[in-house]
């Protein structure tokens, strides 16, 4: 019988498609480690039971970060992966509980997944990954015991698949920078957009970073970027893109490295590396960590968010105009 454990595994295998998977930064193409296993091979190496390996805990920590910080679709993918990495440790125990209490094992497993998800959504984002792992496992077992000890073996009329569909629902919304207008200074959204781009260009020019920006602009104009990676644009910007024949808008973060080292991230928020390490162990570190081999890295976008730095959407023409102006051209 296909229970929720089976559905979770099938979902992950379908999404991975047998391709190499990166549990360090989420993207095989940008990861510093060049060799990546398929998900099936990765799953076989993970040990999250009583004898947790260091490598498995590091992988768990990186996967937790991906499930918290990625875009909505990727968050859902990595949360389902986290659940799938736990199910091997629930399988035997759920069967034993079903035999002992004469209960449907599929109901017990659904209760375990529900308990693990409740733990995930109730724990604060800064909870240490190991504590989160222990809590998800504990809540899973508690949920199963609570189900069988309630004395009813009635089954749910709905399919277990609803747990997968709703697993990654979060009440978060990211408003595009192009939709935020400072009414006190600029009334026209188009003017606000151009001013924002020109200010970005002038700053890059003063920092001596316009060559890097122009390299990106050339790639955008030559059709280098996959349109799925382009930021969402407003109806007015669609008209401007029609003139160019393509969407050339990009986010300021596209000019920055995707990740920086743990020590650099600590320095950005005013901490020493040792202070940041202690805070990470306590779960009070303001940013999340990903492991690449034995090295820790931090997402630049997450740091920008923590520091209140707006990841503005800009157009190459505006950026170049601003740079030219400040350069006296």
Q: What is the pLDDT of residues 159-170, one digit of tens each?
A: 444 444 444 444
Q: What is the pLDDT of residues 301-319, one digit of tens each?
A: 889 888 888 888 999 999 9
Listed by start position, the domains of the chain span 4-166, 174-329
| CB 74, CB 110: distance < 8 Å | no
Per-residue confidence band for 215, with pLDDT thresholds at 50, 70 and 90: very high
What's the rounded mean pLDDT across residues 207-223?
89
Helices 88-101 and 129-149 pack at an angle, to 10 degrees, of 20
Q: Which pLDDT score, from 0 to 100, does residue 123 have? A: 86
Q: What is the pLDDT of residues 281-298, one digit of tens each?
A: 888 888 889 888 888 999
Q: What is the pLDDT of residues 61-110, one digit of tens each?
A: 999 999 988 888 888 999 999 999 999 888 888 888 888 888 888 899 99
Q: In whole angstroms, what is the distance from residue 83 CA to residue 58 CA?
A: 16
- Of residues 17 and 58, more confidence is placed in 58
Q: Which pLDDT score, from 0 to 100, does residue 16 have? A: 85
| CB 74, CB 82: distance < 8 Å | no
Q: Up-side HSE of residue 12: CA atoms within 13 Å toward CB?
A: 24
- Of residues 240 and 114, more confidence is placed in 114
Would the pTM count as exceeding 0.75?
no
Q: Which pLDDT score, from 0 to 100, does residue 167 have? A: 43
**3-state secondary structure string across the chain:** CCCHHHHHHHHHHHHHCCCECCCCCCCCCCCCCCCCCEHHHHHHHCCCCCCCCHHHHHHHHHHHHHHHHCCHHHHHHHHHHHHHHHCHHHHHHHHHHHHHHCCCHHHHHHHHHHHHHHHHHHCCCCCCHHHHHHHHHHHHHHHHHHHHHCCCCCCCCCCCHHHHHHCCCCCCCCCCHHHCCCCCCCCCHHHHHHHHHHHHHHHHHHHCCHHHHHHHHHHHHCCCCCHHHCCCCCHHHHHHHHHHCCCCCEEHHHHCCCEEEHHHHHHHCCCCHHHHHHHHHHCCCCCCCEEECCEEEEEHHHHHHHCCCCCCEECHHHHHHHHHHHCCC
Q: In whole angstroms, what is the distance from residue 4 CA to residue 159 CA?
A: 9
What's the rounded mean pLDDT across residues 179-191?
53
- Of residues 16 and 149, more confidence is placed in 16
Q: What is the pLDDT of residues 229-250, one digit of tens each?
A: 778 877 777 777 776 778 889 9
Q: In whole angstroms, what is the distance from residue 76 CA to residue 83 CA?
A: 11
| Mean pLDDT estimate for the chain | 82
Q: Which pLDDT score, from 0 to 100, does residue 33 have? A: 84
């Amino acid at each position: 019988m296909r229970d929720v454990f089976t559905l979770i595994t099938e979902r992950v295998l379908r999404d991975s498609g047998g391709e190499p998977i990166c549990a360090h930064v989420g993207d095989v193409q940008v990861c510093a480690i060049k060799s990546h296993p398929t998900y099936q091979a990765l799953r076989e190496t993970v040990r999250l039971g009583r004898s947790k390996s260091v490598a498995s805990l590091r992988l768990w920590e990186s996967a937790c970060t991906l499930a918290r910080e990625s875009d909505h679709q990727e968050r859902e993918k990595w949360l389902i992966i986290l659940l799938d990495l736990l199910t091997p440790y629930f399988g035997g125990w759920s069967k034993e509980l079903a035999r002992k209490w004469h209960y449907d094992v599929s109901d017990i497993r659904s209760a375990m997944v529900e308990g693990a998800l409740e733990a995930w959504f109730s724990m604060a984002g800064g909870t240490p990954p190991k504590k989160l792992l222990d809590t998800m496992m504990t809540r899973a077992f508690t949920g199963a015991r609570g189900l069988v000890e309630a004395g009813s073996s009635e089954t749910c009329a709905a399919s277990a698949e609803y747990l997968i569909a709703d697993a990654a629902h979060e009440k978060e919304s990211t408003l595009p920078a192009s939709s935020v207008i400072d009414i006190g200074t600029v009334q026209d959204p188009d003017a606000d957009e151009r001013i924002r781009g020109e200010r970005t260009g002038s700053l890059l020019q003063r920092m001596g970073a316009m060559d890097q920006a122009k390299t990106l602009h050339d790639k955008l104009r030559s059709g280098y970027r996959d349109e799925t990676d382009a930021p969402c644009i407003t109806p007015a910007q669609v008209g401007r893109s029609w003139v160019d024949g393509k969407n050339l808008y990009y986010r300021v973060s596209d000019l920055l490295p995707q990740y920086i080292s743990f020590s650099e991230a600590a320095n950005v928020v005013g901490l020493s590396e040792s202070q940041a390490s202690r805070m990470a162990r306590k779960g009070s570190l303001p940013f999340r960590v990903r492991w690449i081999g034995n090295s820790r890295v931090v997402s630049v976008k997450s740091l920008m968010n923590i520091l209140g730095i707006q990841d503005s959407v800009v157009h190459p023409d505006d950026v170049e105009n601003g740079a030219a102006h400040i350069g006296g051209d």
